[in-house]
Structure 1
């Protein structure tokens, strides 16, 4: 009898411990895949919230990485694998135009995140502004929404994108992608080159080359050793090279754009008589 009582007590205690353990289990919280980025704007429409993130606090002229999630406001869940396209448009007083941009693609790390980039050639102002039209499909239904966005000049005022007419009468947009945080060393330098096919179409230009001559105007306009011109990298889908920075301060990155035949489309050599190219980017660190 005592043995039976002990078995029953053991079973009861075991069940009790199991029940307590189950009650105390907390649900696993989802890790925010965009926690390291900044929410730049949110679009509320169609019972959804389109959340736009970037690595900066705002969209600026030049290269901008964009990350997007679409939330179902009915249950605060995020749609997986949404089909989505976009069209940024600058509304000027006399005309409208778009900008170079990538397609929006599902992130390989999280299927609720869509990623891409846009290169804004100019900032908005009181009378002229950018907006983005998103066309997306979730739950088997297609939606369209347009949102005005703020595009400002970089806080440091330095030029990292330039739009120009080449000697071939083609208008190009050339943007520096990296380095974002330059150091005193030989830095990897990356760039994207597009041409204006129409006011709304900007195809990527491949297999040109970009000659690089960095100078410090405030230090006798000296250059630096071990620089490498930028050439097109088909795997990275951008232009890559090496930028040597020998000290901190203000640098002007003098450039020349050459086509596949080696013809200079824009930019000049830096000489004693010519202190800077008409095609350039700027860095200060």
Structure 2
């Protein structure tokens, strides 16, 4: 009887050992890059680090760009999860240089991923180009880099940003937020910035952006149930409703009014005036 119990115990231990061994031999799958589904726009080598810039878009483009950043320590081949970052995009023109509206860079749910946005007003060319400056700190040290980037017009050629001087003689940047248009009443949003100087573009608060969507190829007809864009302080955006009654090319005519209701820029669409001087475009 004791012999039977001994053999039973021996077999049980062997089974448990085998199971543990097989479990330990299983590969541990680790997602090394939480941004693998995004597009790598830039990879900068500086300060014995690699700074990677990702986006859902496949290029830096005129208008709104949401950007994601990772910093790799080349010495340890590991990504930094406790950094603070700031960015300064600069457009170097033949006669002057200027920046653009941009956000702070914040942490995300992924410890090694940081995000922000930049709104480029114009594309670069052979002699005038954008440079992305980054300052980042961790471990008690601060590092800097500045690298040239290529900013292009949208692949579809549609207008998603307006730069204009208002009736108050201030300079403004108005950018449409990304959206997937449908034949429906769509949520529609934009961001409006006032240019204080070549480097500073604070959010313009409390204005109204009136919209009048039209289909130029279909008799310039409009659509019902649109709602003008008003300021949402929770995210510094202007939000409204855009009614699209059919697929095709749409021109979203715009008028911008300040907090007192004074018209800064844009015109009514009439039989004599087919479009406002301020507009966004889309085709779907």
Query: Shorter-chain TM-score category?
Result: over 0.9
Q: Could you say which residue in structure 2 is the equivalent of 1:117?
A: 117
2:236 counterpart of 1:234: no
Distance 1:49 1:3 in 2: 64
**CA deviations over 1:231-251 (Å, ceiling 9, x no partner):** 001123200010011111111
Give the TM-score, by structure 1 length: 0.95
C-alpha deviation, 1:22, in angstroms: 4.8
> Which consecutive residues of structure 1, in runs of 5 or more, have no partner in the other structure?
none
2:198 counterpart of 1:218: no
Between 10-19 and 64-73, the greater mean CA deviation after superposition? 10-19
Describe the SS at the equivalent of 2:22.
Answer: helix
Q: Could you say which residue in structure 1 is the equivalent of 2:57?
A: 56
- The answer to whether the Cα contact below 8 Å between 2:203 and 2:236 also exists between their aligned partners in 1 is no
Q: Could you say which residue in structure 2 is the equivalent of 1:155?
A: 155
Give the TM-score, by structure 2 length: 0.95
Number of positions where the alignment pairs a residue of Structure 1 with one of Structure 2: 283
- The answer to whether the Cα contact below 8 Å between 1:89 and 1:131 also exists between their aligned partners in 2 is yes
C-alpha deviation, 1:33, in angstroms: 2.1
Describe the SS at the equivalent of 1:178.
Answer: coil
Runs of 4+ aligned residues of structure 1 deviating over 6 Å after TM superposition are: none
- The answer to whether the Cα contact below 8 Å between 1:178 and 1:188 also exists between their aligned partners in 2 is no
Quick one: structure 1 residues 142 and 2, their matched pair in 2 at CA, closer, same or farther if it must change by over 3 Å?
same
Distance 1:185 1:11 in 2: 65
Distance 1:236 1:198 in 2: 23
Describe the SS at the equivalent of 1:207.
Answer: coil
RMSD across aligned C-alpha pairs, in angstroms?
1.6
Q: Could you say which residue in structure 2 is the equivalent of 1:29?
A: 30
Q: Could you say which residue in structure 2 is the equivalent of 1:284?
A: 283
**CA deviations over 1:256-281 (Å, ceiling 9, x no partner):** 00001100000011111111111111
Quick one: structure 1 residues 16 and 226, their matched pair in 2 at CA, closer, same or farther if it must change by over 3 Å?
same
Q: Could you say which residue in structure 2 is the equivalent of 1:10?
A: 11
Q: Could you say which residue in structure 1 is the equivalent of 2:269?
A: 270
Describe the SS at the equivalent of 2:177.
Answer: strand
In the TM superposition, what are the counterparts of 1:124-143 in structure 2 within 5 Å?
A: 124-143=124-143
**CA deviations over 1:140-164 (Å, ceiling 9, x no partner):** 2111011111100001111100101
- The answer to whether the Cα contact below 8 Å between 1:54 and 1:66 also exists between their aligned partners in 2 is yes
> Which consecutive residues of structure 2, in runs of 5 or more, have no partner in the other structure?
none
Q: Could you say which residue in structure 2 is the equivalent of 1:70?
A: 71
